[in-house]
Amino acid sequence: MPETASSPAFTATSVAKSVAAPLAQRPLYQEVAEHLRQQIFSRELEPGSWIDEQKLTAALGISRTPLREALKVLAVEGLVTMKLRRGAYVTEVSAQDVSQVYHLLGVLESDAAAEVARKASDAELAELNKLHEQLEAQAQQRDAFFAINEEFHHRLLQIAGNRWRSQIVNDLRKVMKLNRHHSLFRQGRVAESLAEHRALVQALLARDAEQSQALMRAHFENGLAAASAG
């Protein structure tokens, strides 16, 4: 019988309980991919480390088939690198990778910011403003700040309404999480980022597309400078 997301061996593990969606809603390989993704983001699996398939299949109580399908998903996302006859490794990002990712994010999200300034409804702009207020309130709580910051950018992309752009940005942000020197880790960068967000929100509320685009581009340029300084 083929394994499913409700296979007893997998649901019995503590790691499966950390997956937000009910196990029955997604194929098993997607559940495994999400589990590994979170291990990578939390540095339980460090950049450059070899992924021990035998150890993982034993820990999760699954066969190698769903694990290898999960690794293919993560490879497409850029989180895992497959090496011939050597297996899968957590991707290491170079300084050039970081620079290229920030550049593309700046291009794509600044374009989205201009779109939002031009076409968002008053209610949508109010929603972004509320998210920014939540961001201000969580400036001293790093994990909460990271989560709300990501939600703000995600919502802005949703409002801009180009699903292809959103998909590309989503994958780029996953790669950015591999960077050991994420810009927000640098001391003082949270306050700088907040000030940049504050100016951006004001430009969006004023429906100034040109200024919104310029401020979002600068936001990523400053983020790259901070990450590079780390």
pLDDT in tens, 71-101: 999 999 889 999 988 899 999 888 899 899 9
d(CA 7, CA 51): 22
How sure is the predictor about 104, in pLDDT bands with cuts at 50, 70 and 90?
Answer: very high
Angle between helices 64-77 and 163-176 (to 10 degrees): 100
Mean pLDDT for all residues in the chain: 87
> Residue 41: is its pLDDT beyond 90?
no
State the Cα–Cα distance between residues 26 and 121, nearest whole angstrom: 34
**Pair of tokens at residue 73:** 């998903």
* Spatial separation of the C-alpha atoms in residues 57 and 65, rounded to whole Å: 9
Neighbouring residues of 41: CB distance < 8 A, sequence distance ≥ 6: 177
User: What is the Cα–Cα distance from 145 to 75, expressed in whole angstroms?
Assistant: 28
- pTM score: 0.75
Cα 182 to Cα 59: distance, rounded to the nearest angstrom: 30
At how many degrees (to 10) do helices 163-176 and 95-119 cross? 150
With 70 as the cut, is the pLDDT of residue 14 above it?
no
**Is residue 115 very low, low, confident or very high in pLDDT (cuts 50, 70, 90)?**
very high
- Cβ pair 221, 106 in contact under 8 A: yes
* pLDDT for residue 119: 97
Task: Give me the mean pLDDT over the 59-66 stretch.
Answer: 93
Residue 174 confidence (pLDDT): 87
* Phi and psi angles of residue 189, each rounded to the nearest 5 degrees, phi first: -70, -30
Kindly write down the DSSP assignment for every residue of 15-53, as one continuous string.
Answer: HHHT-SS-GGGS-HHHHHHHHHHHHHHTTSS-TT-B--H
- Residue-wise pLDDT tens digits, 145-180: 989 999 999 999 999 999 999 999 998 998 888 876
Ordered domains of the chain (ranges, CATH): 8-90 (1.10.10.10), 95-229 (1.20.120.530)
H helices within 120-229, ranges in order?
A: 122-137, 142-160, 163-176, 189-205, 209-229
Cα 149 to Cα 132: distance, rounded to the nearest angstrom: 8
